[in-house]
Structure 1
Amino acid sequence: MIIVPASADTERGRPGTTQQFADMQAYNDQMLRAGVFVDGQGLHPTSRGARVTWADGEWSVTDGPFAEAKELIAGFTIIEVSSREEAIEWLKKWPASCAPDPGQHLELRQVYAPEDFGEEFTAELREREEQMREEAARAAARG
């Protein structure tokens, strides 16, 4: 997963210019043709979000916006590649027009696969997880 940091513009609700959208679409299309693109989405600014925190046995809700701009996420891209090195090569192809602000970075994180969880994630739990993913895919396809 490629995690894209928020910027002052994305937090103001300005997700990009026409050129940035075109550059990102070309990048995603390149990954799609290479068979590595899985998904990618931009996120609304934190002013439209909330944080829900568990403390002292209760949930509390804090509405956005959130001040920690350097720790906010503006979007993500999920790719499926064979190695960390291949993922890094794709990050190096990120469109320059969409590069993070100076001092910020794209972050690469590996998504867990069921086999990463060990024996605690039993066969029954794995089967139910797969069923839920199939149900979600069918619901998404129905729109």
Structure 2
Amino acid sequence: MRYLIIVKATAESEAGALPEDSLIASMATFHEELARAGALLDASGLMPSSAGWRIRYEGERRTVIDGPFTETKELIAGYTLIQARGHEEALEWTRRFPNPRGEGLTAEIEVRPLHGLEDFPPSAAVERFRSLGVGG
């Protein structure tokens, strides 16, 4: 099963501050361990929301909303996508995830399991996704 580890944005990450080298080193060590265990699927940091946009859907209309976005607590600063045999294994990995702000500081990550194509009833639409090699 795949799990997405979501690193919450902070005022610092939204201001464009890059992590200190010691934090990058801790993250590299953790991600190397994930890779050696065959659990690492992907990982990256995100640029601040000022570099992004949202699309709002209202009926047939689509509106572009340029960043930055003010609700930092609802924003994502980065992610790690892992493969685990189940909830317990994913929980063990995430307990070891380095504090994304640096040790001793308040921070939060969120972990969510991803749907796989096997979660959906068989259909032509599901098969179209399967043929693309996406959706787990």
Distance 2:99 2:56 in 1: 36
Query: Can you give the 5+ residue segments of structure 2 that lack an aligned partner in the other structure?
Result: none
Distance 2:44 2:24 in 1: 12
User: In the alignment, which residue of structure 1 is the partner of 2:95?
Assistant: 92
Distance 1:5 1:72 in 2: 6
Matches within 5 A, 1:126-137: 126-133=126-133
User: In the alignment, which residue of structure 2 is the partner of 1:21?
Assistant: 24
Please say if residues 23 and 97 of structure 1, whose CA atoms lie closer than 8 Å, have aligned partners that are also in contact.
no
Distance 1:126 1:96 in 2: 37
Percentage of pairs with the same residue:
35
- State the Cα deviation string for residues 101-127 of structure 1 (Å, max 9, x = none): 62x5211101111110123xx1x4344
Matches within 5 A, 1:1-143: 1-96=4-99, 98=101, 102=106, 104-119=107-122, 122=123, 124-133=124-133
* Residue 55 (structure 1) shift: 1.3
Distance 1:2 1:99, change over 3 A: farther
Distance 1:127 1:118, change over 3 A: closer
Please say if residues 50 and 63 of structure 1, whose CA atoms lie closer than 8 Å, have aligned partners that are also in contact.
yes
* Residue 99 (structure 1) shift: 5.4
Larger relative CO (CA 8 A, sep 6+): 1 or 2? 2
Task: Write 1 or 2 for the structure with the bigger share of helix.
Answer: 1
Q: TM-score, normalised by structure 2?
A: 0.86
Which stretch of the first structure deviates more once superposed, 39-48 or 92-101? 92-101
Query: Can you give the 5+ residue segments of structure 1 that lack an aligned partner in the other structure?
Result: 135-143
Distance 2:51 2:66 in 1: 8
Name the SS for the 1:4 alignment partner: strand
Please say if residues 23 and 102 of structure 2, whose CA atoms lie closer than 8 Å, have aligned partners that are also in contact.
no
Please say if residues 27 and 98 of structure 2, whose CA atoms lie closer than 8 Å, have aligned partners that are also in contact.
yes
User: In the alignment, which residue of structure 2 is the partner of 1:139?
Assistant: none
How many pairs were matched up? 130
* Residue 56 (structure 1) shift: 4.1
Distance 1:98 1:26, change over 3 A: farther
Distance 1:5 1:97, change over 3 A: closer
